[in-house]
Structure 1
Amino acid sequence: MKVLANDGLDQSGIDALREKGFEVITEKVPPEDLKDYINQHQIKTILVRSATTVRKELIDACPSLEIIGRGGVGMDNIDVEYARSKNIHVINTPSASSESVAELVFAHLFSGARFLQDSNRKMPLVGDTEFAKLKKSYEKGIELRGKTIGIIGMGRIGQEVARIALGLGMRVIAADSTVGKASIKVTFYNRQFINVDIETEPIEGVLKHADFITLHVPAQKDGYVIGEKELNMMKTGAAIVNCSRGGIIDEKALIEALDSGKVAYAGLDVFINEPTPSKEILNHPKISVTPHTGASTVEAQDRIGLSLASQICSILNVS
């Protein structure tokens, strides 16, 4: 009944598990000590986020493990199929953070559209002496309303992005190799709503016609989703946001596209070399950056904690 939440767990999840008699350990165990710690304490359940990896070697070395949980959507830091072949349950929380990630997409879009990523750096430095100059340099901002957003990947997060975009008055187009059509329900504050059906199309069409591109696809084993070829397909002056997984955009090609003006700006929450992104990416004036915080809201972490606790209790038949 011991649960090791090695990358932390929201208090709601901790409380829910403790109420059912579980001992929840939130101590951060270094990777090199994880095997010995799990075996010494006979840990049955390990919960991770992005920082901790659970690979074949750890699974083989820890026979007490019955459940591996990921607080989030992607499970590329876990050898999922191998764990399941060993009769270990692998769980995640695919719907708990969709709204939070989608809202961060728009935080990046709004930031780039009004040059916030650059003005927030320069105003503290020269805002008192070059105010008029800065005002002039940021006068070409644009509105999102009436523009076309292209969503690559129409899973839960992609559909939530579509819902927000429709509410803003944007046109939505999408590409997904497994989803043919998505029905998006947009609900307003007075409980009125509209349903909008979005049929997906080949990625080439989305790249050519969208003013903004946002990516919501799994980590890639072979190649980039967006490389030099795909960037060249985009409309000149379009923007791109990645709050999905690092490594799905060729960062070198992206910088070249930004420098040439082909791409107006980018928003990145994930990077190729996490947790040490390149200085060129971090310091680029046309890139809005966040440190992989898509699911890092109070509400999302609360839902993640409760979802994990519920799944663990269900698997272990704890009522």
Structure 2
Amino acid sequence: MDIKKVLVADAVDKACVDLLKENNIEVDCKYKLPKQQLIEEIQNYDGIIVRSDTKVTADVIEAGSRLKVIGRAGAGVDNIDINAASSKNVLVLNTPGGNAISACELTCALITNLARNVYPGAESLKQGKWDRKLYTGHELYGKTLAIIGLGRIGKEVAIRMQSWGMKTIGFDPIISAEEAATFNVNHMSLEEIWPLADYITVHTPLIPQTRNLINKKVFDTCKKGVRVVNVARGGIISEEDLLAALKDGRCGGAGLDVYEQEPPTNPITLEIIKHPKVVATPHLGASTGEAQIRVAVEVAEQFVALTEKSKVYTSVTGVVNQAVYKNLKLK
């Protein structure tokens, strides 16, 4: 693939730009462009690299007369119109493993926080109170953690929470029961999982099949007081149903890093964030220095590999629209 000029449209670590330039790819960094300006600019580039802020919509892709590849320095690609890209034979890449450890560690932190009321207890103490009995928690040892999505992040969460003595069960339509068993997760159907779970954590993309996956029916089926964690994508847990379950006790707590709207302004979302049984963070899953460097380098490595001019970088591991990639390889 002939990639001569790339637009970096969101702030990524400098290592990304350096690696591209070292491999004779011209780079312009223009962050958070208004949509119309992005439409005007994109026609000058063979590739674009984004994170979460820039939306690569159908009209942006249509305007990219030279556009060959869109790279997401991160895992989720819901800010990129995959269908529009595929229809124009534009390759879409992500870096699925780059932030896995960081997202996993935040997930584990939220689970342990919910178990021991760390956040509300700390806030109470800062206010001069000494409410030891009010913030009595429970042990994670012996509790059942349901992991929905057993890819890189789900697997890492399982391994770490097993060290706390948690039983791990899970579901993934792609990962087989045999593969799940290699990291000690009992693969079950969703219908089997819900009544057994003390904690549920989701690690799936936001697609039509996963939107509102955790909903009223699930809360009605689960144990009373089940706790839920979402460091994946807003919308996998129905916020309206979650709020109702928090209010009536069907849900005993929630650890949330992502929301249906970001930054959130919806009254339901804001009420959830302020709820005393909720630990909420502002989409920090990939916000570690290590993850930022990792995803920046990984996306640049893939761009370089696509040029087929490097003996060092030869692997393209984050292809999202495989059909387009196969077509390119056949040419």
Q: Give the TM-score normalised by structure 1.
A: 0.89
Q: Which moved more, 1:18-27 or 1:72-81?
A: 18-27
Give the match's secondary structure for 1:47: strand
Structure 2: state its 5+ residue gaps. 311-331
Q: Is the 8 A contact 2:215 2:237 kept in 1?
A: yes
The one-letter code matched in structure 2 to 1:172 is T
How much does 1:179 deviate? Answer: 2.1
Aligned to 1:85: 87
Aligned to 1:275: 263
The one-letter code matched in structure 2 to 1:52 is T
Aligned to 2:36: 32
**Residue 182 and residue 164 in structure 1: after superposition, are their counterparts in 2 closer, same or farther (change >3 A)?**
farther
Aligned to 2:192: 205
Q: Is the 8 A contact 1:163 1:184 kept in 2?
A: no
Matched length: 302
The one-letter code matched in structure 2 to 1:136 is K
Counterpart selection for 1:143 from 139, 148, 163: 139
The one-letter code matched in structure 2 to 1:317 is E
Counterpart selection for 2:5 from 2, 6, 22: 2
Give the match's secondary structure for 1:282: helix
How much does 1:115 deviate? Answer: 1.3
Aligned to 2:45: 43
Q: Is the 8 A contact 1:175 1:201 kept in 2?
A: yes
CA distance in 2, matches of 1:297, 1:237: 31
Aligned to 2:151: 155
Root mean square deviation, CA, Å: 1.9
Aligned to 2:318: none
Once the two structures are superposed, residues 102-161 of structure 1 have per-residue CA deviations (whole angstroms, 9 ceiling, x without a partner) of 11111111111121232343333x22xx22xx22311x2122222210001112211111
Aligned to 1:191: none
Q: Is the 8 A contact 1:66 1:88 kept in 2?
A: yes
How much does 1:87 deviate? Answer: 2.0
Q: Is the 8 A contact 2:102 2:287 kept in 1?
A: yes
How much does 1:197 deviate? Answer: 4.2
CA distance in 1, matches of 2:112, 2:172: 25
Q: Which has the higher strand share?
A: 1
CA distance in 1, matches of 2:299, 2:140: 36
Once the two structures are superposed, residues 198-225 of structure 1 have per-residue CA deviations (whole angstroms, 9 ceiling, x without a partner) of 3411112211111110011121336510
Q: Is the 8 A contact 2:74 2:295 kept in 1?
A: yes
Aligned to 2:284: 293
Give the match's secondary structure for 2:146: strand
Give the match's secondary structure for 1:150: strand
Q: Is the 8 A contact 2:150 2:180 kept in 1?
A: no
Counterpart selection for 1:12 from 11, 15, 19: 15
CA distance in 1, matches of 2:178, 2:233: 22
CA distance in 2, matches of 1:38, 1:79: 15
Q: Which moved more, 1:174-183 or 1:277-286?
A: 174-183
How much does 1:259 deviate? Answer: 1.6
Q: After the TM superposition, which residues 51-90 of structure 1 pair with which residues of structure 2 at under 5 Å, given as runs?
A: 51-90=53-92
CA distance in 1, matches of 2:77, 2:291: 17
Give the match's secondary structure for 2:18: helix
How much does 1:280 deviate? Answer: 0.5
CA distance in 1, matches of 2:112, 2:178: 25
**Residue 147 and residue 224 in structure 1: after superposition, are their counterparts in 2 closer, same or farther (change >3 A)?**
same
Give the match's secondary structure for 1:84: helix
The one-letter code matched in structure 1 to 2:156 is E
CA distance in 2, matches of 1:27, 1:119: 43
Q: Which moved more, 1:2-11 or 1:245-254?
A: 2-11
How much does 1:85 deviate? Answer: 2.7
Q: After the TM superposition, which residues 236-255 of structure 1 pair with which residues of structure 2 at under 5 Å, given as runs?
A: 236-255=224-243
CA distance in 2, matches of 1:274, 1:212: 25
Identity rate, percent? 39
How much does 1:175 deviate? Answer: 1.4
Once the two structures are superposed, residues 55-92 of structure 1 have per-residue CA deviations (whole angstroms, 9 ceiling, x without a partner) of 21111112121110111112121122331231212111
The one-letter code matched in structure 1 to 2:200 is I
The one-letter code matched in structure 2 to 1:165 is M
The one-letter code matched in structure 2 to 1:2 is K
